[in-house]
Chain A
Amino acid sequence: MSKNILELHDVSMIYGPVKALQNITLSVQQGEWLAIMGSSGSGKTTMMNIVGCMNKATHGVVVLDGEKISRLNAKDLTAIRRDKIGLIFQQFHLISYLTAVENVMIAQYYHSLADEKEALEALERVGLGHRARHLPRQLSGGEQQRLCIARALINHPKLILADEPTGNLDEANQETVMNIFHQLHAQGSTIIVVTHSPEVAAHARRVVHLEYGRMIRDEVNVECPAA
């Protein structure tokens, strides 16, 4: 049996009168592909912030890769995020004045040491080897998202956290990105995708539904084979 890469025990996030997240308890196994679904205001972004070490829960315990992160300070959370999490965004968030390969290397730079050879290999893996010297504005939306994925993967994260990864893509590019996710999953990566799209969630083995900050359903997608 695989070990849990992520555990949330009775996690809540309360801002004054607003209960953004309430009593969430959840475990994610290593190599699992989990989709967190919910409409706007359901708490999925809050949950992503907590899991991605971008915010701390007001209540409860969060354990990532065996380390209790719920009470760590900002500096330690930065280190955890840098070492263990690969982030993929809907808006890509690439640095406009750096080339594709440099955008990958920037994540290496703040992690350990920027290595162009390794960055180029990461671009090759997402089919962007030939676009390494292009600036983000010279890439299509799909290419920018693949670049974002290459950047997320470069430091071999324990957990890939994707926020609406296909939200800005057309159908063809959406398929390309999901294929990359399938490859990563097949290679044993743990993936959590936050989405409101049932099509994207359908690729995941397990889907958690949130509503008004509460987890209302945790289901296994039987049509999707386990890695």
Chain B
Amino acid sequence: MNRLTRFQLIRCNLSRKPARACILAGLVALFAFTLFCGTIIGQGVSAGTRLMAERLGADVLFVPYGYESEVQSSLLRGEPSSFFMDSAFAAELRAEAGAEKVTTQLFIATLKAACCTLPVQLIGIDPQTDFVVRPWLADALRRPLAENEVLAGSKIVGQVGDEIMLFGKKLTIAARLDPTGMGFDTSVFMDIGRARRLLLLSDLAPRLNLPEGLDRNTFVSSTLVKVDPATDVRSFANDISQRYAIPYNLDFVMVAGMLSDISARLQAFSAFFYAFSGLLWVLAVIVLALVFSASVQERKKEFGLLRLVGASRAALARVVMQEALLLGAAGALLGVAAAGVLMALFKTYIGVALELPSLSPGFASLALTGGGVFSLGLLAGPLASLPAVRKLGRIDAYLALREEA
């Protein structure tokens, strides 16, 4: 037995003007899409930045002059690059006041590797001085790396114990890193001496343009420094740079500065998204309000009749509000779903295109953001219907029918 319900009435009315219903829902969907994407991107960057700061552990990175952006690209987005400097600088730096910890790393971009479809970043670490990866090793791998062992980033294919081919050599994965959402995820870590030897013996060596006079047995790519807490990091970096820049042809990158650059970009990015989303929300509410108001005027006869057959003003207000709620819900659901699918499918591309280091929010974050955005979208409908409901209350049922007659 068919029982007429309010939902049926609403559905019938909406399907009477499908184009209008689609445009209204689409407007809410656009708002939900923008807000959801903006929030997820903002959260992703924020989480990635925090993770990077924790994992890096260094305050200043000294690199060959002109390679500041390469080291940032490599650390943030895993873009492989190779650059070299003299390790003697690290030895001199250790003697400097304020340098609490100093270590060196070797960055080598492989052309291809059996583990991956794209070139990977090989990072040689100094087990004697390393303070960047060692804290992690101490927890997960309670022994030094063997000659043929590597640590694999979270996106490197292979399990612990599996072998991967690098520079024509079989290397065993001794441990894996947790996902960082940054360049570490697509990097392979190994002993710096072993990495250096592998490089020099490989086909890649002639193409690397190692600087003249660089000691083939000790060269590195960067020197990472943890500054004494009592020392101002910037003053320390400036002082070292002034004295060592020319003899070692180097420059430096402040990790805090690098992170604050990201933070500033994140803030600007988030502000833009939130402002744009807010504007869309207000626009959606205004347009919905205008359309619903016009719709009540257009349906005056219908509402007048419903009043005459016994519908109370409150009952008619519920019809209008639920119609708006349904449109808001449909739009918000569509927007959140479309944004979710888009983010899942193109997160890597979006991250690269927007030069963002991370775009991998957890399920809880996705659910919370989705829920919040959906609620806001949902709210737009009933809020927009308030003027229409007010107008509805002023309709004189019998006069409305006679006006139209």
Would A49 and B398 count as touching, CB distance under 8 A?
yes
| Stretch of B169-177, B191-199, B304-312, B360-368 contacting A (4+ beta carbons < 8 Å) | B304-312
Which residue, of B4, B8, B302, B398, has the highest number of chain A Cβ atoms within 10 A? B4
Would A95 and B305 count as touching, CB distance under 8 A?
yes
Would A115 and B12 count as touching, CB distance under 8 A?
no
CA distance A151 to B4 in the complex (A): 14
Check A93 for interface membership: any CB of B closer than 8 A: yes
From the candidates A52, A90, A97, A108, name the one contacting B4 in the complex (CB within 8 A): A108
From the candidates A45, A74, A106, A113, name the one contacting B306 in the complex (CB within 8 A): A106
Would A110 and B2 count as touching, CB distance under 8 A?
no
CA distance A52 to B313 in the complex (A): 17
From the candidates A89, A107, A113, name the one contacting B310 in the complex (CB within 8 A): A107
Cβ contacts under 8 Å, A79 to chain B = 310
Q: On chain B, which size bracket covers the interface?
A: 20 to 34
A110-B306 contact in complex given A97-B12, A98-B12, A117-B1, C-beta closer than 8 Å: yes
Would B405 and A90 count as touching, CB distance under 8 A?
yes
CA distance A45 to B405 in the complex (A): 14
CA distance A102 to B16 in the complex (A): 15
Would A97 and B310 count as touching, CB distance under 8 A?
no
From the candidates B16, B309, B311, B404, name the one contacting A87 in the complex (CB within 8 A): B309
Cβ contacts under 8 Å, B306 to chain A = 106, 110
Would A110 and B1 count as touching, CB distance under 8 A?
no
Query: What does the 1/0 interface line of A65-86 toward B look like (CB < 8 Å)?
Result: 0000000001100110111000
Majority secondary structure of chain A interface residues (helix, strand, loop or mixed): helix
Majority secondary structure of chain B interface residues (helix, strand, loop or mixed): helix
A119 to chain B, nearest CB (A): 9
Chain A residue at minimum C-beta to C-beta distance from B302? A95
Cβ contacts under 8 Å, B16 to chain A = 96-97
Cβ contacts under 8 Å, A95 to chain B = 302, 305
A195 to chain B, nearest CB (A): 15
Check B118 for interface membership: any CB of A closer than 8 A: no
Cβ contacts under 8 Å, B305 to chain A = 93, 95
A42 to chain B, nearest CB (A): 16
Check B301 for interface membership: any CB of A closer than 8 A: yes
Check A111 for interface membership: any CB of B closer than 8 A: yes
A25 to chain B, nearest CB (A): 23
Cβ contacts under 8 Å, A45 to chain B = 402
Cβ contacts under 8 Å, B309 to chain A = 82, 87, 106-107, 110-111, 151
CA distance A95 to B304 in the complex (A): 11
Chain A residue at minimum C-beta to C-beta distance from B301? A93
Check A29 for interface membership: any CB of B closer than 8 A: no
Would B13 and A97 count as touching, CB distance under 8 A?
yes
Check A114 for interface membership: any CB of B closer than 8 A: yes
Which residue, of A87, A95, A116, has the highest number of chain B Cβ atoms within 10 A? A95
Would A102 and B308 count as touching, CB distance under 8 A?
no
CA distance A10 to B309 in the complex (A): 28
CB interface residues, A 165-214, toward B, < 8 Å: none
B115 to chain A, nearest CB (A): 62
Cβ contacts under 8 Å, B312 to chain A = 75, 78
Would B3 and A81 count as touching, CB distance under 8 A?
no
Query: What does the 1/0 interface line of A124-155 toward B look like (CB < 8 Å)?
Result: 00000000000000000000000000010001
Would A115 and B3 count as touching, CB distance under 8 A?
yes
Would B405 and A91 count as touching, CB distance under 8 A?
yes
Cβ contacts under 8 Å, B350 to chain A = none
Would B401 and A115 count as touching, CB distance under 8 A?
no
Check A105 for interface membership: any CB of B closer than 8 A: yes
Chain B residue at minimum C-beta to C-beta distance from A168? B405
Would A102 and B4 count as touching, CB distance under 8 A?
yes
B110 to chain A, nearest CB (A): 66
Check A54 for interface membership: any CB of B closer than 8 A: yes
B104 to chain A, nearest CB (A): 76
Cβ contacts under 8 Å, B58 to chain A = none
Cβ contacts under 8 Å, B13 to chain A = 97
CA distance A87 to B5 in the complex (A): 22
Would A116 and B1 count as touching, CB distance under 8 A?
yes
CA distance A82 to B313 in the complex (A): 13
Cβ contacts under 8 Å, A87 to chain B = 308-309
Chain A residue at minimum C-beta to C-beta distance from B314? A75
Cβ contacts under 8 Å, B401 to chain A = 89, 91, 93
A106-B405 contact in complex given A95-B302, A97-B13, C-beta closer than 8 Å: no
Chain B residue at minimum C-beta to C-beta distance from A154? B309
Cβ contacts under 8 Å, B12 to chain A = 97-98, 102
Would A114 and B3 count as touching, CB distance under 8 A?
yes
CA distance A117 to B2 in the complex (A): 8
CB interface residues, B 61-104, toward A, < 8 Å: none
Cβ contacts under 8 Å, A55 to chain B = 398
From the candidates A54, A97, A102, A105, name the one contacting B397 in the complex (CB within 8 A): A54
CA distance A109 to B15 in the complex (A): 20
Chain B residue at minimum C-beta to C-beta distance from A151? B309
Check B264 for interface membership: any CB of A closer than 8 A: no
CA distance A110 to B311 in the complex (A): 5
Chain B residue at minimum C-beta to C-beta distance from A78? B312
List 17 A-B pairs, Cβ < 8 Å: A78-B307, A87-B308, A91-B401, A93-B304, A97-B13, A97-B15, A102-B4, A106-B306, A106-B309, A108-B4, A109-B5, A110-B311, A111-B309, A114-B3, A114-B5, A115-B3, A116-B1
Q: A97-B15, A111-B310 are in contact. List 5 more A-B contacts (CB 8 A).
A: A55-B398, A82-B310, A87-B308, A106-B9, A107-B309
Closest 6 CB pairs between A and B?
A82-B310, A114-B4, A110-B310, A116-B2, A105-B4, A54-B398
